[in-house]
A and B are shown apart, each in its own frame.
Chain A
Amino acid sequence: MSVIQTENLTKIFRVPQKDAGVRGAVKALFQPRYKDVTAVDGVTFSVEKGEVVGYIGLNGAGKSTTIKMLTGILVPSSGQVRVLGRDPHRERVANARQIGVVFGQRTQLWWDLALIESLNTIAKIYEMDPQRYDQLLEQFVDLLDLKDLLKVPVRNMSLGQKMRAELAATLIHEPEVVYLDEPTIGLDLIVKERMRAFIKQQNRETGTTVVLTTHDLGDIEELCQRVIIIDEGKLIYDGPLSAIKERFGKYRQITFEMARDLDGVDLPAGAEIVTQDGRSLVLRFDRTQTTASRVAAAVMEQFNVVDFSLAEPDLSMIVKQIYQGALHPEAV
């Protein structure tokens, strides 16, 4: 049985509409207007035990809203959601006992107290066996380098220290499912590396299922075998990371800087314009149909090229193409 199952999951928010100025404020007082905004639109997917799934999309795509429905914070407007066989909202407390959540921009730690106070309290509210807690605490302190932070109030920690503490608080009670909503936001490379290694180890050793939302594609490449891509609330891709890499990886990108503004360009078969802005031209080409030298030669024959560069496909380029509509039926 799947650990997480959603079917036609939909969330519609009712957002107040207010005109600018005093008149608008008065009007809103007597005649409030609302607009329905569909944040998540008929999303269906399932996640198996032990999977690490990247749930990605642009800002406002509906990632966090989906996570909040999976955690039981939000109630779906329609559709079904089951986590470990439960309705997360109806059975919120039982669901909460078996999940862990990091919201990158919020904290579950007690801001004014030393970290150890928060961890001790979390162990109690999750009804942990004291011996097991001591054992895990020792392990987490070592893996996340928390020794010097245990007696420090959370408000006195740097962002990186706080996120390491947050991760420890999320996983200390050994949840079966972990939702990480932008856990590496704003962190430096070293902290990111440490956090990724920790998540990877927890998944490998305890079989914890992880759903990760992030804008950092390094997190995805490092941790996920599978990605779900959501755009304007709709699921547009669900499959192995390797499959989209293979599918879109056949494209390469060339950027040209011209001596004068462009008006039009003829390209060989298999090449197309990505962006054209003044003297800058970005092309992509299918390397099964043509070559970089052929494309470059064609452009150079028509224009005076000042500079050009060739980029190998990486995940960020692939995801950018997908966000720009490369998965829409007419684009395929």
Chain B
Amino acid sequence: MAVLRRTARAYGAMMAMVPKLFMAYQIWVWMQFIVQIISLVILVSFWSAVYAGESSLSGLTLAQTLNYIILAQIFAPSTDTNMVFELGYMVRSGQIGMRLIQPLDLQLALYVQKVSEIALAFVFNLPLALIGWLLFRYHVPADPLVWLAFLVSLLIGNALLFCFDWILACASFYSTEVWGMGMLRYGVALFFSGALVPLAMMPGWLRTISTILPFSQALYTPVSLLSGITPLSGMPRIWLAQLAALVALGALSRFTFSRAVRQVTVQGG
């Protein structure tokens, strides 16, 4: 028990560094807020134009779609792990050496930092949620069970996406030129996570691809529950699928890292 407490304290310390580092860049915090408001207005206008003269598309009304889109924008940071860029930078600059001399499991330490970053991003999105509500009056469920189910699905989905991104990021141990892969991952995630389009509107084959890829697990799956697209009764089956994916990707990411870290080259000084 004491060991567990000490370990929690150690990784907790890494989590606690995130808000301190975040606050060090105050201008960026404000810029990000402005960009998000603009994005929200553009997306709402776009979908309103798409629905012109139509009462529903792919079984979703305009109100349902807007509800989903606004909530997806609020919880979109769940898909931004940035692992390919961050690990790539560490390996390329040699800073990976300073992380490997810490008495921490690197993957777990970076995961808890990411969870902290996402939680912080959600907090900073609260004004966005408020402005979105004032402007567009979206609906959120009143049932605490739905919120609990959403939170569980979000946590599992984000963890499995982190493992997927970790596997991609391990490529940086073999090639320092992973910037292109990071950009590709960002673009693919933006579309397949459901941040811009509800997956329910996609043609069957595209929806299948989206479901197989892990990006939607960190955003569409939990937010569709919150916005009422997926009923609460469907969650146990979804959780099971998410957990299975998490176990598989978790094991694969551990194995990949254990092999990749042997390739570290930190030459000079």
Residues of A at the B interface (CB closer than 8 Å) are 13, 39, 64-65, 68, 71-75, 89, 92-94, 96-97, 99, 101, 103-108, 110, 112-113, 117, 120-121, 124-127, 153, 181-182
Contact = CB atoms under 8 A, between A and B. Distances in A.
B98 A107 contact: yes
Interface in B71-109: 94-98, 100-105
Contacts of A99: 101
A103 B95 CA distance: 11
Interface centre among B9, B14, B265 (most CB of A within 10 A): B265
Contact of A106 (B16, B98, B264): B98
Interface of B: 6-7, 9-10, 12-14, 16-17, 20-21, 24-25, 94-98, 100-105, 262, 264-269
B262 A106 contact: no
A127 B10 contact: yes
Given A127-B7, A181-B269, 15 more contacts: A64-B267, A65-B267, A74-B264, A89-B262, A97-B103, A103-B97, A103-B98, A104-B269, A108-B101, A112-B24, A121-B16, A124-B12, A125-B10, A125-B102, A127-B6
Nearest to B13: A124
14 contacts: A13-B265, A68-B97, A71-B100, A71-B101, A73-B96, A74-B266, A75-B264, A96-B101, A101-B101, A106-B97, A107-B98, A112-B24, A125-B14, A126-B103
A108 B98 contact: yes
A96 B94 CA distance: 18
Contacts of B6: 127
Contacts of A93: 103-105
Interface centre among A75, A105, A117, A125 (most CB of B within 10 A): A125
A120 B16 CA distance: 11
A71 B266 CA distance: 12
B175 to A, nearest CB: 10
A128 B166 CA distance: 30
A110 B97 contact: no
Interface centre among A74, A113, A117, A182 (most CB of B within 10 A): A74
A113 B267 contact: no
B43 to A, nearest CB: 33
A73 B269 contact: no
Contacts of A71: 97, 100-101
A108 B7 CA distance: 20
A99 B267 CA distance: 20
B17 A110 contact: yes
A61 B21 CA distance: 38
Contacts of A125: 10, 13-14, 102-104
Contacts of B13: 120-121, 124-125
Contacts of A106: 94-95, 97-98, 269
Nearest to A74: B264
Contacts of B97: 68, 71, 73, 103, 106
B21 A113 contact: yes
Contact of B20 (A72, A113, A124): A113
A11 to B, nearest CB: 10
A39 B94 contact: no
Contacts of B265: 13, 74
A191 B209 CA distance: 61
Contacts of B96: 73
A264 B20 CA distance: 70
A99 B100 CA distance: 12
A162 B96 CA distance: 20
Contacts of B102: 96, 108, 125
Contacts of A64: 267-269
Interface centre among A73, A93, A108, A126 (most CB of B within 10 A): A73
Contact of B10 (A65, A107, A124, A182): A124
Contacts of B105: 93
Contacts of B103: 93-94, 96-97, 125-127
Contacts of B12: 124
